[in-house]
Amino acid sequence: MKRRDFLKATAGGATAALCGIGTAEARENKEPLENAIGILYDATLCVGCKACVRACKEINGLPPSIMGEDVQYDAARDVSGDTYNVIKVYKNGTSEQKDREVDGFSFAKKSCMHCVDPACVSACPVTALDKNPQTGIVQYNPDTCIGCRNCMVACPYNIPQYEYNDPRGQIQKCQFCNQAGVERISQGLLPGCAEVCPTGATLFGTRRELLEEAKRRLAAKPGEAYTYARGRASDGLHTHDKEAPEYRQHVYGERELGGTQVMHIAGVPLQKLGLPELPERSYASIAEGVQHTLYKGMIAPAIALAGLAFVVKRNTSKADQDDPQSKNSRRPEPNNDRGEP
């Protein structure tokens, strides 16, 4: 089949498939589960100690990420198959003052956002990723995974990571310390990162109470004393007082892509901390609306396949007729010594 004909066939099939898009409508964003759990990360409280990184690795049995021969400690720079949670730093100019955009600095936490309407779950063809129906944790089943890595492409936060150095590699990501062999949430315990955080920068609770707490902090008057919880948002057992900083008036994760269960607040623009600017409409709701329309009854794929099959058959027949060596155009061979047909 000639390249030109192949492109024509592909275009024809695509046109036929796209005929159904006019009626495709994005479904609504999914709503947060009633008891969805989550984490509130307050960058103004983070001191960059990386206790959360160490606890995450110890609980989940992850090796340290050694960066070169001269560095003899865990120096992970981003999430990977060996790192589910990492603390980064934003610096500007002289970096004189914390939580200031100009000539200041701030810490940033990167881990799975546990989206309310996750693109990775929608993109997985074998449901190796799904949301726990009680907690909303985006969980991973390695026994189902086929290693296609669609989830890596779909995630706008670049969170799922594949173990490329393992011939039987799996997808790795934060599961709130509640997966096979590590079941802290189901036992009433905290995720490791929230349990060890000395300042409460990583706070655990239900999404609802964390969102309420985030809005209270944003409404606090800068300079006034504010009581910050540590560990769990609701128990009130571990608190400390600190002057409220000047927050940016935005709770990241309240609405982005339909909302996330891990939310961030900070004193500098959140995009400076590696959080992308995203729409409220979830990518999963848009993609599924189009896909379900196109593949309803398998009509569009059948039309596209029929178009390709027709062009292949037409060009194959034409090639046979034009080729003097083809079976259809070849003169019959003589079947006796006198050359009679």
- We report the CATH number of the domain holding residue 90 as 3.30.70
Statement to judge: residues 188 and 115 lie in one domain: yes
- Look at the alpha carbons of 287, 289, 295, 301 in this order and tell me if their dihedral is positive or negative: negative
In a domain, 177, yes or no: yes
pLDDT for res 130: 96
Statement to judge: residues 110 and 18 lie in one domain: no
Statement to judge: residues 183 and 251 lie in one domain: yes
Structural domains counted in the chain: 2
Statement to judge: residues 11 and 43 lie in one domain: no
pLDDT for res 330: 52
pLDDT tens, position by position, 43-57 = 999 999 999 999 999
In a domain, 262, yes or no: yes
Q: Which residues of the chain have pLDDT under 70?
A: 1-24, 68-72, 289-302, 304, 317-341
- How far is 338 from 341, CA to CA, in rounded Å? 9
Dihedral, CA atoms, 275, 281, 282, 287, nearest 10 degrees? -130
pLDDT for res 64: 87
In a domain, 218, yes or no: no
Statement to judge: residues 169 and 52 lie in one domain: yes
Statement to judge: residues 185 and 48 lie in one domain: yes
Q: Is the pTM of this model over 0.75?
A: yes
In a domain, 97, yes or no: yes
Integer angstrom CA distances of residue 217 from 19, 31, 203, 227, 238? 50, 24, 13, 10, 17
pLDDT for res 222: 95
Statement to judge: residues 309 and 161 lie in one domain: no
In a domain, 164, yes or no: yes
Statement to judge: residues 8 and 116 lie in one domain: no
pLDDT for res 314: 79
Contacts of 209 (CB under 8 A, 6+ apart): 233, 234
Range of the domain at 19: 3-26+292-322
In a domain, 156, yes or no: yes
Statement to judge: residues 298 and 261 lie in one domain: no
Statement to judge: residues 22 and 43 lie in one domain: no
Statement to judge: residues 297 and 184 lie in one domain: no
In a domain, 127, yes or no: no
- How far is 312 from 153, CA to CA, in rounded Å? 32
pLDDT for res 9: 55
From the list 268, 223, 265, 244, the residue with the least C-alpha distance to 93 is 268
Q: Per DSSP, what are the bridge partners of residue 30?
A: none
Burial (0-12, 13-18, 19+ Cβ within 10 Å), 188: exposed
Half-sphere exposure of 115 (CA within 13 A, CB side): 29
pLDDT for res 73: 75
In a domain, 126, yes or no: no
- How far is 170 from 81, CA to CA, in rounded Å? 8
pLDDT for res 235: 82
Statement to judge: residues 169 and 43 lie in one domain: yes
